[in-house]
Structure 1
């Protein structure tokens, strides 16, 4: 029987990322998984067995969220389903006054994301917390860079470079029917693998103003979406950035965000701080790679916000901004011209078919 003093958590989606959330919650003293939701019986039963083997109370299992909400005393819902289903499920949970954690990205369509943003604002007025996973903001190195930027220790920011150079095989994309599709994945290397890096770039540099881009399918012919994208962004401060994401970099490279200013700069590589110069100093004596925060650190933040009645460190609006940036990249590639971020954010490009913007290399 579940401990009534703990948050009763429903995991919606029992695949790879659902297992990550379940394991994270199982290690906490203040929460327990009491419900698993997945139409795939084998997936939910496997996760139930995993939790039981870890000494956790056996959760109830459900085919859909509606059944779980009516059949269990749930206080927190973790959305871990394919990306294109996130917003609708999260809105359903919020309408039932349940706290919500949404795995990245928020969704793949801005129309649904905006609707969820309105639902989250309404729910917040009743003390209901919603947050979107972007756990790398809680990495020690990323937090140190953000604090330095806020304090002006890098002087005037001039530029940034963000790159995600990964490899994903054809077998990876074939492993689930939703992978590499516009309807459920919402994009490729940038939307799926690169959205965390986009979020960090915005956290460091602020909202972009103009975006131009090229997206292509360089190595994976069986998917609908891009496996390589390069974009340039101009920010409100006047600083510029390059953004690169690929799943066609065999055998897989590194993830890196570098920021540069007139009095210093920093580089975060594979979630750890590798370079840090500030206040006009030429050495990087303050570098402390630290440990990545991971999902556990973000759950600390989310459950802390619930306990205090405050806002979580990452809001639904933060995730809408990241999604709008990704969509702006795809729209700029499709239209073959720069687009304004605010126009994308406010829906003036919602009717653009971004699938037309993915280029193929010559045979």
Structure 2
């Protein structure tokens, strides 16, 4: 572990596109340095090592697996950027060595594995070891302003919300990596991969769901295993309702929107920017600076602050378990063609449901 004056030594596990994002974010900080890269693909690891050294960083050591990196270096934080289905196992491995962990979204694709990781994260927290899952849009200024207004009751009684992710992904995108569009490693399609951040925001604003019903299908991409389009309705503990929509079959690609409505106001976020805000019964002026900060910067700041202060980060593994359980509940509801209780999914009562059977094809 690093002390207050020694930069944190960070291992990036998975040197693909998102691994570059994490590495760039860490490298831009004065209190951290990437000292280890973990990837079985030597070319990918070498490319990221070159990227870091060209940016003036010390050359990191490359390892073929996380165990070797933990044994061969003095890393204090591991960033897991591998395919989604490997996340929980790698995180548990790091936590067992009392090393802080950051996990790229989603937490994992398997809810039982996520529960085990949740228990491991709780044990690790008792020893001062933190774990967090990337949900960087909670740190966008607009999202934070909406959440603060909700907590302060400025929207009155929350009545409803609408969340939509209307994107386009080509067949070439899914063919570009063997894990894309598979249940084993991607864990789902438009909702699990592209929409999980929006699910997280919806839960942050509205609270835990009570029941969920849904329909998921492959509308345009028939070579994949998972859905490219899903629509769900959710009811929440506060009595409000919401619709949730995610698709990668919206050519040429649309926008991500989240709107929240209440008896005294509401707000709308579009592509992470606050576009409308009404509170306390009157429309409010939007701040001049409405563009969110880049990438993962704000969340990493929160993570390193938590480590330095001996506190838990703003987003925990348990927050991410709720988001994963919501996605799983959507798939279960589509498979069973009936509403399901969120608590039943969270607690494992539907763990044996094969959700791959619930992804239909369009009529015709």
The answer to whether residue 194 in structure 2 is matched with residue 215 in structure 1 is no
The RMSD of aligned alpha carbons is: 1.2
Q: Deviations over 1:55-83 (max 9, x none)?
A: 10000001100110001110000000000
1:185 is matched with which residue? 186
The answer to whether residue 348 in structure 2 is matched with residue 354 in structure 1 is no
2:285 is matched with which residue? 285
Please give the secondary structure, in 2, of the residue aligned with 1:10: strand
Shift of 1:291: 2.9
Does structure 1 conserve the Cα–Cα contact (< 8 Å) formed by 2:275 and 2:286? Answer: no
Does structure 2 conserve the Cα–Cα contact (< 8 Å) formed by 1:141 and 1:288? Answer: no
- 1:256 & 1:343 partners in 2: Cα distance? 29
1:35-184 correspondence runs (5 A): 35-184=36-185
Could you tell me which runs of 5 or more consecutive residues in structure 1 were left unpaired when the two chains were aligned: none
Please give the secondary structure, in 2, of the residue aligned with 1:343: helix
- 2:24 & 2:285 partners in 1: Cα distance? 36
- 1:97 & 1:303 partners in 2: Cα distance? 16
Does structure 2 conserve the Cα–Cα contact (< 8 Å) formed by 1:211 and 1:233? Answer: yes
2:21 is matched with which residue? 20
1:324 is matched with which residue? 325
The answer to whether residue 32 in structure 2 is matched with residue 31 in structure 1 is yes
TM-score normalised by structure 1 residue count: 0.98
Number of matched residues?
361
Does structure 2 conserve the Cα–Cα contact (< 8 Å) formed by 1:77 and 1:98? Answer: yes
Please give the secondary structure, in 2, of the residue aligned with 1:314: coil
1:289–1:188 Cα change, 3 Å: farther
Q: Deviations over 1:145-190 (max 9, x none)?
A: 0000000000000000000000000010001000000000000000
TM superposition outliers: structure 1 runs of 4+ over 3 Å = 286-289
Q: Deviations over 1:294-326 (max 9, x none)?
A: 301000000000000011000000000000000
1:269-348 correspondence runs (5 A): 269-281=270-282, 283-288=283-288, 290-293=290-293, 294-348=295-349
Q: Deviations over 1:30-77 (max 9, x none)?
A: 100000000011100000010011010000001100110001110000
Q: Deviations over 1:69-113 (max 9, x none)?
A: 001110000000000000000000000000000000000011000
1:288–1:154 Cα change, 3 Å: farther
1:227 is matched with which residue? 228
Could you tell me which runs of 5 or more consecutive residues in structure 2 were left unpaired when the two chains were aligned: none
1:255 is matched with which residue? 256
Shift of 1:290: 2.2
- 1:226 & 1:198 partners in 2: Cα distance? 16
2:8 is matched with which residue? 7
The answer to whether residue 209 in structure 2 is matched with residue 239 in structure 1 is no
Does structure 2 conserve the Cα–Cα contact (< 8 Å) formed by 1:168 and 1:248? Answer: yes
Does structure 1 conserve the Cα–Cα contact (< 8 Å) formed by 2:326 and 2:342? Answer: yes
